[in-house]
Amino acid sequence: MSQFYEAGHLGGCIKGGDPATFYPNMWDFFISQTQVKSILDIGCGEGHALNYLQKKCPKVRGIEGCAAAIAASDISHKIIQHDFTKDWKYLPEGYEMIWCCEFVEHLEEQYIENFLSTVLFSGSKYVLMTHAFPGQGGYHHVNCQAPSYWIEAMAQIGFSLDTQLTRMCRAVALMEHNSPYNHFARSGLVFKHTAGARGSNVYLENLKQDAVITWASGKDFCKCPGFKVYMNSLNRSGFSGDKLVFTHDMEIEDREYVTKQGFKIIDVNPKLIKWVVRDRFLAWSNFLAQTNYRYVAFLDAKDVVCQRDPIKALEELDYPHVCFISEGKLHSDCNWNTGDQQNLQSQLGGFQQDCASWDVLCAGTILGCAEYVRQFIMQIWSTTLFNTKATDQAVLNYLYHTFIWPNQYVIADPRYDAIAVTADLPKDKMPRFENNQMIHDEKNIPYAIYHQWDRVPGIKEKILETYL
């Protein structure tokens, strides 16, 4: 496996074929599941996969840039020579499936659009591909990316990740190759084209009126009980809009679980996420700029329970542009928030403000009209660029108390409004916990949102029991 064709960036394929790119059992399984009749192999090398696949499908074709590899092929008449550094959309016929194994990492990022346009104009229903991870060595590996990079790129041309088929194909591939070079078992992705979606993000074509949005990041995050509580509670709340989970690093098994719960996953290019606490706001703002939602709610996913529909609760507040949730105390009541604010302001030069009399506003619950929310979260992102150690809560409080016009942005106080309550509320102001719900004392209804429930012993166990 050390003998590559000497052809610069076109020499990524191995002379004699790479056994770690050969998956006959998995191909047989996939063909039996989908009944595809035609296959295009992008980056086919000498055509060994094609040689097998032509026995299973009436029509196969390969694309390869290395002339020497094509010349060495037994089925060179089935291979089109093409260098993806050049734009090229022409194919003699359409193909139902694309196989692309150990190719994309060899293609410089500036040429990825050429690859995507070929996928799009092939008319394929399915794409099966592998990729190399960041830091992974290899011959001319110039574009090693995390899975979300490719999932986001494929979504732009109308292909969504099929988590179930991905998991099943990986399982078959794992039984097929017992080696550290089992590429598909490690990084394989199966994409499916959505009918009618051509050249645009699949998700953006089926928007509902409102959305509840969160972020799930980190290998263990989706497996924590709090995230499952969040999803189960929102499903029971009566909310009927889009339930979105943004991510840049979610595992396949977690994707399948989240999707089964009725949530839609929005992948963000991992290269845009240097620090999630900050850069999630940029990703959310960019997404909202492409949508036409009426109301949106941004909620923390690990410690939020939706006891009622959060959007209906927002409407009860007489249609505010943006609603922030008070924690029922001032900065002078909390050393942590005071220190957090002072840390931020020390990086802002001459913009020093006395924060002692400021209400503490929670950054884990932001709701309101979509466009106004979008503008504000973009301000949060741009302000955090001054100081990467500043928390989103410090920035939110600074912006609100320094620059915001009261007629556009309102504070929901848990003493008077039943939209949200946080466990950081002073003990003497805490409402009653009854029938495993936090109840508004005067209105005698559950708060729509209960935040930071996992910080309260006794209540934490009852929330877990109720929503798991």
Q: Which residue has the higher pLDDT, 260 or 93?
A: 260
Total domains in the fold of the chain:
2
- Sequence-distant (6+) residues with CB within 8 A of 77 are none
Q: Which of 149, 165, 193 finishes a domain?
A: 193
Pair 402, 253 in one domain: yes
Give 30-79 pLDDT, tens digit per residue.
Answer: 999 999 999 999 999 999 999 999 999 999 999 999 999 999 999 999 99
Tokens 């026995």, residue located:
55
Of 10, 122, 12, 18, whose CA–CA distance to 60 is shortest?
Answer: 122
Which of left, alpha, beta for 458 (phi over 0: left; psi -120 to 50: alpha)?
Answer: left
Beta-carbon contacts of residue 406 (< 8 Å; ≥ 6 apart): none
pLDDT score of 320 more than 70? no
Q: Is residue 206 part of a domain?
A: no
28 and 161 housed in the same domain: yes
Same domain, 254 and 357: yes
What was the pLDDT predicted at 201?
A: 65
Cβ neighbours for 87, distance < 8 A, ≥ 6 positions apart:
113, 114, 117
Q: Is the pLDDT assigned to residue 1 strictly greater than 80? A: no
Q: pLDDT tens digits, residue range 446-456?
A: 999 999 999 99
Q: Assign residue 427 a region (left: φ > 0; alpha: ψ between -120 and 50; beta: otherwise).
A: alpha
**pLDDT at site 427:** 79
Could you tell me the CATH number of the domain that includes residue 355? 3.90.550.10
Buried/exposed 305-328: b ≥16 CB within 10 Å, e otherwise: bbbbbbbbbbeeeeebbbbbbbbb
157 occurs within a structural domain: yes
**Is residue 277 domain-shared with residue 385, that is, in the same domain?**
yes
On whether both 127 and 269 belong to a single domain, the answer is no
Confidence of residue 311 (pLDDT cuts 50, 70, 90): very high
pLDDT band at residue 430 using 50, 70 and 90 as cut-offs? confident
Examine the domain organization and report whether 231 and 189 are in the same domain.
no
Nearest Cα to Cα of residue 299 among 364, 222, 368, 395: 364
* pLDDT 10s digits, 387-406: 667 788 999 999 888 876 65
Q: Do 183 and 223 reside in the same domain of the chain? A: no
In a domain, residue 45? The reply is yes
Q: Please report whether residue 216 resides in a domain.
A: yes
8 A C-beta contact, residue 285 and residue 381: yes
Any idea what the CATH number is for the domain that residue 183 is in? 3.40.50.150
Least confident of 28-37, 185-194, 210-219, 274-283: 274-283
Domain that holds residue 434: 211-467
Any domain includes 398: yes
Q: Are residues 288 and 347 in the same domain?
A: yes
Place of tokens 């950081």: 424
Q: Same domain, yes or no, for 189 and 215?
A: no
Instruction: Decide which of 163, 193, 223 is a domain's last residue.
Output: 193
Place of tokens 């094609």: 50
Shared domain for 309 and 450, answered yes or no, is yes
Q: Choose the final residue of a domain: 140, 161, 193.
A: 193
Please tell me the distance from the alpha carbon of residue 32 to that of residue 27, in angstroms, as a whole number.
8
Note whether residue 205 is domain-resident: no
Task: Name the amino acid, one letter, at 331.
Answer: H
Can you tell me the distance from the alpha carbon of 152 to that of 130, in angstroms, rounded to the nearest whole number? 15
- Examine the domain organization and report whether 137 and 259 are in the same domain: no
Q: Is the Cβ–Cβ distance between 40 and 122 less than 8 Å?
A: yes
Q: Could you report the per-residue pLDDT of 121-166, keeping only the tens digit for each?
A: 888 999 999 999 998 887 888 999 999 999 999 998 999 999 999 9
Answer whether residue 3 is part of any domain. Answer: no
Contact between residue 128 and residue 94 where contact means Cβ atoms under 8 Å apart:
no
* 202 domain-assigned: no
Do both 159 and 282 map to the same domain? no
3-class DSSP state for residue 343? helix
Q: What percent of the chain has pLDDT over 90?
A: 64
AA identity, residue 463: I
- Report pTM: 0.87
Distance of CA 167 to the CA centre of its chain: 18
The structure tokens listed for 98 are 């694309």
Angle at 167 between CA 166 and CA 172, to 5 degrees: 100
pLDDT of residue 197: 53
